[in-house]
């Protein structure tokens, strides 16, 4: 198998497997007060410490809340901040290319009376002028992703400046970034993003599925500006109740610990692989290049070949690529992200995402390129109506 869909999920690394195996033998409930519970709590705290280091975040300034994944962390950030207090004419700003786990909660809040404004991201560039014109005293929450999951556009270089401007215009505004596709792919920290809350996910960094985290400024918690979405026994400082997923948390920490040690070299290798692929694509293929690209994602549009047809073709050759976010690709809808980028429906319906990891090789890319050329020559074409 040649796996080129690492933005959907990644294979478990050795460090994650080892920590999961360790956690399987230390099965005590981390909330229990006996020694077995303490063993589980120790694993959880070790993983938390690793994530603090990876995010370059201080414990006295930020809290790290473990969740069931990036989607729950995003829901906690959006619903938790929006519903924490009673607002008059509240407004939320998001980019028009956010993940569904941001846009769907915002749609619910719009039904409750929140004004939700979507900022344009044409060509993978956040419209800074539009953003600044929308920030006002009624803005309670801003959420802009650090790296787009479909195009690989890096918004991180813009959001620090914009988040700082948002705080200056309205000191009460809360700024959040979905950094699921940025974590351990590009440098990431509260200092580099200017964010009050940051979402990360385990299975995007060679950890297990079913675990994520929300990094939250303690200033927000002191002001009681975040409400829990899951209520119960009061785990995770009361912000995410429920018996902790010790296996997932331990595996998450193990994956992060392993990847931190080789982060710079890994990302250099991935960037080189992306460049290698980019320089060898057939001339018939169009590349959707954002102004600032992430090192691991490449979006390409095929010549009059439906993406689903191409996916089936590659899958038959044991090559895994995707047509966009795995969270929404089963819905049968054309990508709003690609339309926001500037593609028309015909182009969006012919676009593939190749996403790389440190485990990929040039030989694998050569095999993919050979299959791509074969597919362009053989696959049934369709005409725009």
CA distance 162 to 231: 33
CA distance 211 to 208: 7
Per-residue model confidence as pLDDT tens digits over 16-60:
999 999 999 888 777 777 876 677 788 999 999 999 999 999 999
**pLDDT the model gives residue 28:** 76
Distance of CA 79 to the CA centre of its chain: 18
Contact in structure between 193 and 156 (CB atoms under 8 Å):
yes
Nearest to 236 by CA among 216, 251, 257, 209: 216
Residue 330 DSSP symbol: G
**pLDDT the model gives residue 382:** 46
Contact in structure between 6 and 356 (CB atoms under 8 Å):
yes
Which positions ≥6 away from 357 have C-beta within 8 Å?
Answer: 3, 6, 10, 206, 270, 296
Which residue shows structure tokens 């556009």? 153
**pLDDT the model gives residue 64:** 98
| Domain regions of the chain by residue span | 2-8+263-371
Contact in structure between 158 and 306 (CB atoms under 8 Å):
no
CA distance 270 to 7: 13
**pLDDT the model gives residue 198:** 98
Q: With a cut of 50, which residues of the chain have pLDDT below it?
A: 326-329, 331, 382-385
**Token duo for residue 210:** 């079913």
**pLDDT the model gives residue 332:** 52
Contact in structure between 76 and 229 (CB atoms under 8 Å):
yes
CA distance 16 to 205: 10
b (16+ CB within 10 A) / e for 126-138: bbeeebeebbeeb
Relative to beta strand 139-143, strand 174-178 is parallel
320 is catalytic: no
Which entry of 13, 106, 231, 327 is annotated as an active-site residue? 327
For domain 2-8+263-371, the CATH architecture is: Alpha-Beta Complex (3.90)
Rounded to two decimals, what is the model's pTM? 0.95
CA distance 75 to 77: 5
Nearest to 85 by CA among 212, 169, 173, 192: 173
**pLDDT the model gives residue 33:** 74
**pLDDT the model gives residue 384:** 42
């Amino acid at each position: 198998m040649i796996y080129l869909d690492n933005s959907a999920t990644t294979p478990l690394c050795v460090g994650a497997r080892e920590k999961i195996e360790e956690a399987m033998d230390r099965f005590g409930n981390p909330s229990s007060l006996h020694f077995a519970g303490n063993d589980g709590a120790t694993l959880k705290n070790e993983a938390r410490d690793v994530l603090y280091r990876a995010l370059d975040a201080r414990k006295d300034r930020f809290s790290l809340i473990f969740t069931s994944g990036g989607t729950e962390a995003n829901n906690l950030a959006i619903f938790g901040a929006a519903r924490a207090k009673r607002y008059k004419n509240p407004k939320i700003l998001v980019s028009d290319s956010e993940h569904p786990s941001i846009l769907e909660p915002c749609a619910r809040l719009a039904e409750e009376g929140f004004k939700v404004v979507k900022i344009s991201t044409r060509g993978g560039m956040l419209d800074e002028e539009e953003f600044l014109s929308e920030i006002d005293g009624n803005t309670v929450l801003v959420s802009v992703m650090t790296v787009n999951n479909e195009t690989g556009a890096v918004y991180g270089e813009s959001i620090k400046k914009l988040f700082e401007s948002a705080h200056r215009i309205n000191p009460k505004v809360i700024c959040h970034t979905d950094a699921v596709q940025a974590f351990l792919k590009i440098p990431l920290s509260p200092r580099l993003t200017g964010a009050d809350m940051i979402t990360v996910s385990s299975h995007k960094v060679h950890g297990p599925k079913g675990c994520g985290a929300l990094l939250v400024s303690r200033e927000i918690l002191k002001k009681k500006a975040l409400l829990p979405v899951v209520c119960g026994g009061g785990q995770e400082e009361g912000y995410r109740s429920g018996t902790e997923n010790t296996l997932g948390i331990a595996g998450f920490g193990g994956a992060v610990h392993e990847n931190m040690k080789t982060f710079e070299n890994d990302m250099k290798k991935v960037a080189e692989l992306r460049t290698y692929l980019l320089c060898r694509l057939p001339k018939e293929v169009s590349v959707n290049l954002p102004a600032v690209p992430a090192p691991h994602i490449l979006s390409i549009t095929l010549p009059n070949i439906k993406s689903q047809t191409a996916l089936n073709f590659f899958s038959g050759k044991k090559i895994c690529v995707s047509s966009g976010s795995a969270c929404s690709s089963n819905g049968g809808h054309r990508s709003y992200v690609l339309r926001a980028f500037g593609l028309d429906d015909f182009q969006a319906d012919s676009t593939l995402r190749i996403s790389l990891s440190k485990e990929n090789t040039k030989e694998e890319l050569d095999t993919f390129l050979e299959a791509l050329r074969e597919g362009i020559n053989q696959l049934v074409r369709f005409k725009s109506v």
